[in-house]
Amino acid sequence: MELNAFTNLLTETQVFIGFDRDGTLVPYADHPDEALLDECVKLQLEKLSLLPNVTVSIISARSIAQLGRDMLGSADRMILAGNYGLEISFPDHSEFLHPDAIRLKKTLRKLKVELFKKLPQLGSVIIEDHGLSLCVHYHRCEGLERRDIITAVSAFAKLYPDLTFINLPTSFEIMPANNWNKGSALDIIESKIGFDDEPWKLLYFGDSVSDEPAFQWINNRGGISVRIGDAKVTESSLQMKSCSDLIGLLNMAIK
């Protein structure tokens, strides 16, 4: 996305800007705990959220608690959608929590215990608990180790029909089997904000397959969707090479 297009957009009457977190605002790290939001990026997001015509939202696989820690001090000016939007907090302190996420919390805990018993014996996996979803990262595993992890997690999928196990290039995302995605999260945000009531301009930045439903959602409403990275196939209307390009754009546009 070009600087001029972005700065022009910021002058519109009402602007919604959604950001994915990992791979979009924060470069990936070997361990998810090491992927921290840079203080300069945090400052730019804070400034963005202070513009009276701009609504900022972070829509991530991570929990609202984590997103709140990232944005400490300005979190209550943003819409934070954690666990793919199964949980959403709004600036007026209202919250959305998907009933399936509540119903399946115990099931997810049980699975987590079983994954911790089984997987570390097979390879150097990282099991991340986001509260309403789990993520099994296996980017550190190669060859047979990787095959064993995929086989083991796939076997668990058969035992837990109420959960969906989404196999991404180097991870499994595990969440309620209700076809929920970031587009669904945007539906909830729209029902709260009512994008139709005013001439809203919509913009969304993401970097992965899990952002594609958000790109489609934004495109369907005449907005601009931007995928970070060099994906060959994407629904996004624009692409940017890397997180640092996006961060550079924010730095140049927001003084």
Cα–Cα distance, 160 to 176 (Å, whole number): 10
Question: Could you give the 3-state DSSP secondary structure of residue 168?
Answer: strand
135 with 173: CB under 8 angstroms? yes
Cα–Cα distance, 72 to 19 (Å, whole number): 17
**DSSP readout, 36-75?**
PPPHHHHHHHHHHHHSTTEEEEEE-SS-HHHHHHHTTTTG
- The nearer residue to Mg ion, 22 or 212, going by C-beta atoms, is 22
Cα–Cα distance, 154 to 174 (Å, whole number): 11
What angle in degrees, to the nearest 10, is found between the helix axes of 212-220 and 182-193?
A: 40
Report which DSSP code applies to 237: S
Contact pattern from residue 162 through residue 201 relative to Mg ion, giving x for each residue in contact according to CB under 5 A and a dash for the rest: ----------------------------------------
Q: Shortest gap between Cβ of 36 and Mg ion (angstroms)?
A: 15
Contact pattern from residue 14 through residue 43 relative to Mg ion, giving x for each residue in contact according to CB under 5 A and a dash for the rest: ------x-xx--------------------
Q: Shortest gap between Cβ of 58 and Mg ion (angstroms)?
A: 11
Judged by CB under 5 A, does residue 82 bind Mg ion?
no
Q: Which residue is nearest to Mg ion (CB)?
A: 23
In 3D, which of 74, 32, 34 has the Cα closest to residue 57? 74
119-158 positions binding Mg ion, by CB under 5 A: none
- The nearer residue to Mg ion, 123 or 206, going by C-beta atoms, is 206
- The nearer residue to Mg ion, 23 or 85, going by C-beta atoms, is 23
Please identify which residue in the block is written with the tokens 């996305």: 1
Residue of 70, 87, 173, 207 that binds Mg ion (CB under 5 A): 207
Judged by CB under 5 A, does residue 208 bind Mg ion?
yes
Q: Shortest gap between Cβ of 103 and Mg ion (angstroms)?
A: 27
Piece of the chain touching Mg ion by CB under 5 A; list 13-21, 100-108, 164-172, 241-249: 13-21
- The nearer residue to Mg ion, 104 or 228, going by C-beta atoms, is 228
Residues at the site binding Mg ion, with contacts judged by CB under 5 A:
20, 22-23, 207-208
